Structure 1
């Protein structure tokens, strides 16, 4: 290849290279413009997004501020309403207290009104009386105030003394003397000033006394004892007088107790109850003689029940009559702890209670009465339940039947029945006389076991 061809080839290659470089620069410029444009667009989008967010934040802040302001206004409004309601409630409470006081103390209201209506004319009348005697008006006013004010000063001092529990007689006497002096001045002035109408002098004189009289009635006349309190006090004094009359020895013992013990350490009732315990050994109203009488009567009643135990309708009727004619009904009968009240009709149909019930001998359980009732019942009994002849069983035969009788007695008690001769006669098939003799042995045996059990329990405790 020649030199010229080489130069042309080099120039063509250079031109091609320049063209490619120019195309590359153009492509790079286009890319740079594209990237720049994208960057600007992205920046605008970011700015727009930030502006939108700023607007939203500003709107949210404005909304929150408006909500907070609204809430604050509502809270302020609620506080104002509560304050207004509180003030209204306070006004109602004050009005209610005033109205309640006026309703509860109408006498005090009208007494105050009457006192003012009485004191003012009295003071004016005294000033006029002293002025007509050529006394200076200021001096007359002071002297009038001294009379009326002095009376009321002494009156209120007496009220304080009365509230403190001190003697008030001297205050009341001084009050009435001072009021009488003021009334005399008013009466004298009324006679001079209203000679044609002397009754006016009486009214003016009474104006100094009437207020004192009304106040005295208010403070002393309305605080006395009621009719019921006076009746109770009269009944109490009569009760104490009857007590000293009927129980002189015990009342003297109670007086000795009161004088021996520290002052007001016990009451009169406690002293009398203690003295009764010392003299009679039981609570007031009862004594050993009363217990003996009640016990004797119940023994007789138990004998009557024993006699009629084989006839159930008669037994129920006897119980009803015993309750109807019970001499110690109600709480007085309940006050006898060892005996208790008479057995009511329902109790006749129930299991007996107490220590004697454990032995199966019922409420009364008098061996002496039982034997007496057995004798009377055996005379009227006909035939025998076991088909025995007229001869009764021997003691040895009854002793042999004792274990079986104890077992039957336990069954009777478990069934809620009493251990009776009729029941033993029926279940053992023996004569009623023999059954009653066996019944007494059974009861004695059960009592012995009961006492031994109580003694063992006491020792164990």
Structure 2
């Protein structure tokens, strides 16, 4: 190949290379342009997204602020409503308090109203009276206020002293003296000013007295003892007089106790009760004589139940209802203190646990009467032959013979009581070996003897009763 051809080939190759390089640069430029456009678009998208987010955040913030303002406004409105309601409630409570006070103290309210209507004209009238006499107006006002104020100061001082229990007479006297002095000033002024109309002077003079009169009536006339209090006080004085009349020795003992003990350490009633205990040995109203009478009556009642020959159990139970007529105050279950509790109704079906039952008498139980009924029925069925079966003694013992058997019968009776059995004719007949007729007669003597010992209350009686 020639030189020119090589040069043309080189030039063509160079031109081709330049063309390719230009294409590469053009492609690179397009790519750069594309990338630049993409970058700008991306930046715009990012900016748009950020702008959208910012707008959303701003809108959310505005919504939250609006919601917060709305809640605050609602809270403020509610607080204002609550404050208004509280103020209304406070006004209603204050009004209700005033209303309740007026309902509870209508006299005080009307007395206060009349007092104001009385005092104000009185003070003005006195100011006018002193002014007409040539006294400076301000000085006249002070003197008038001093006069009326003195009357009311004395009034309230008297009320305070009376409430404290101190004498209030001097305050009341000073109050009325001051009030009449003020009334005299008013009367003098208006009688001089209106000599032909004396009633005006009387009205203004009364204005200085009406308020004091109403207050005095309120504080003294509306207080004091009621009719019931006076009746009770009269009954109390009569009671004390009867007590000193009927119980002179005990009242004297109570007076000695009161004078011996420190002042007001015990009351009059406590002193009298203590004196009664000293003199009588029991609570006021009772005595040894009363207990003796009640005890004797009960023993006699028991003897009537025990010694009756034709007593059925239902009659015994009915007779026990006599215990309801206890001469001493108290419930049915309390009974007489020295004799133990009275039997309640259900206890009538059980053996008695009273003093006579412990002594083996059985006066308060239906078993004794039942035993006697069974004994009599047995004797009626067996006849005279059965009467001799239980005993070996002679027929119809005399009183002297029964009296000789009494110590032995008492010993047997004590054994029966110790065994928890009742003293009956059958038991004595069996253990002493005598006829049942004689045993019944001997049983009656044993019962009478044991009752006498029970009433005497000596050591032997306690042993027998045990």
Q: TM-score when scaled to structure 2? A: 0.67
> Secondary structure of 1:264's match?
coil
Q: Deviations over 1:193-233 (max 9, x none)?
A: 55445444444443332222111111122221222222222
Alignment of 1:46-445 (within 5 A): 49-127=49-127, 129-130=129-130, 134-136=133-135, 138=137, 141-306=141-306, 311-323=312-324, 325-330=325-330, 334=334, 336-339=336-339, 342-349=342-349, 360-364=351-355, 365=357, 367=359, 369-370=361-362, 382-384=376-378, 389-390=386-387, 391-392=389-390
Query: Is residue 122–residue 208 contact of structure 2 (8 Å, CA) maintained in 1?
Result: yes
The question of whether the paired residues in 1 share the 8 Å contact of 2:334 and 2:342 is answered with no
- SS class of match (1:389): helix
Rounded to whole Å, the distance in 1 between the matches of 2:146 and 2:12 is 148
Q: Is the 8 A contact 2:362 2:422 kept in 1?
A: no
Q: Does the Cα contact within 8 Å between 2:302 and 2:364 map onto a contact in 1? A: no
TM-score, scaled to structure 1: 0.67
In 2, the alpha carbon distance for the partners of 1:27 and 1:392 equals 162
Tell me the SS of whatever aligns to 1:285. Answer: coil
Q: Given that residues 118 and 211 in structure 2 are in contact (C-alpha distance below 8 angstroms), is that contact kept between their aligned partners in structure 1?
A: yes
Native 8 Å contact 2:361 2:423 kept in 1: no
* Contact persistence 2:335–2:342 (CA under 8 A): no
Q: Is the 8 A contact 2:352 2:362 kept in 1?
A: no
Rounded Cα–Cα distance in structure 2 between residues aligned with 1:71 and 1:377: 100
Instruction: Give the count of matched residue pairs.
Output: 405
Show CA shifts across 1:237-287 (max 9, x none). 333333333333333333333333333333333333333333333333333
Return the offset for 1:86: 1.0
Shift of 1:158: 1.9
Secondary structure (helix, strand or coil) at the match of 2:265 reads coil
RMSD: 5.1
* Partners of 2:253 and 2:275 within 8 A in 1: yes
Q: Note if contact 1:126-1:186 (Cα within 8 Å) is conserved in structure 2.
A: yes
Unmatched tracts of structure 2, length 5 or more: 1-9, 393-407, 431-435, 448-461
Unaligned runs of 5+ in 1: 1-9, 352-359, 410-418, 441-450, 452-461
Shift of the 28–190 alpha-carbon distance from structure 1 to 2, 3 Å rule, reads closer
Q: Distance in 1 between matches of 2:13 and 2:359?
A: 161
The equivalent of 1:443 in structure 2 is: none
Does the 8 A contact of 2:154 with 2:175 survive in 1? yes
Counterpart in the other structure of 1:354: none
Q: Distance in 2 between matches of 1:307 and 1:33?
A: 149
Of 300-309 and 113-122, deviating more is 300-309
Note if contact 1:302-1:366 (Cα within 8 Å) is conserved in structure 2: no
Deviation at 1:91, TM superposition (A): 0.8
1:87 CA displacement:
0.7
Given that 2:127 and 2:144 are in contact with CA atoms closer than 8 Å, whether structure 1 keeps it comes out as yes
Identify if the C-alpha distance between structure 1 residues 142 and 27 changes in structure 2 by more than 3 Å, giving closer, same or farther: closer
Asked whether the 8 Å contact 2:305–2:311 carries over to 1, the reply is: no
The CA deviation at 1:342 is 4.3
**Does the 8 Å contact 2:161/2:167 carry over to 1?**
yes
